[in-house]
Amino acid sequence: MKKWAFLFIISLIILTGCSSKKNINNDIKNGDNCMDNPRLVATYNDRNIYLYCLDVKAIKIDNEEIILEDYLKNNPANIEKVIEALTFEDSLDDGGTLIYSGEVKLVKCNSLIGNKNIYIGNNSNKSLIKLCENS
């Protein structure tokens, strides 16, 4: 009987995935509840590029998985490739703010108050648009 219990426990451990490998995209925050401040990662063409409540570490660009923060820090012009990898979602009547989505949500501000920043966050993050109005 003890042998069966031991085999059952070992089988259970194996089936539940007792692995130390961690998925780099594992902890997605709900951006609406995020208390973090936008984090400046680069500046490109007089636009500040911020990550906001983003736990997605890597996205695919040109079939290659890249670490988003490093990709933008190393070459801020890469923001163009990030935008190309996303799908245009909407534009706002605030001067021309553009919203893109895909593996992440990107808001390219062009507000009437002069905000030209770019914010990148999780797709569920509805607060990104408000950053264009408040910065």
Per-residue pLDDT at 128:
85
Residue 6 lies in a domain: no
Q: What's the token pair of residue 113?
A: 């108050």
Q: Checking DSSP bridges between strand 87-91 and strand 98-101, what pairing results, if any?
A: antiparallel
Parent domain of 93: 22-134
Residue 1 lies in a domain: no
- Residues 59 and 122: beta-carbon distance below 8 Å: no
Tell me, yes or no, if the pTM score tops 0.85: no
Residue 77 lies in a domain: yes
Residue 27 lies in a domain: yes
Residue 126 lies in a domain: yes
pLDDT digits (tens, 9 = 90+) for 35-76: 678 999 999 999 999 999 887 788 999 899 999 999 999 999
Give the count of domains, the chain: 1
Residue 8 lies in a domain: no
- Residues 85 and 59: beta-carbon distance below 8 Å: yes
pLDDT digits (tens, 9 = 90+) for 74-119: 999 999 999 999 999 999 888 789 999 999 999 999 988 889 999 9
The DSSP call for residue 89 is: E
Per-residue pLDDT at 25:
35
Per-residue pLDDT at 29:
41
Residue 43 lies in a domain: yes
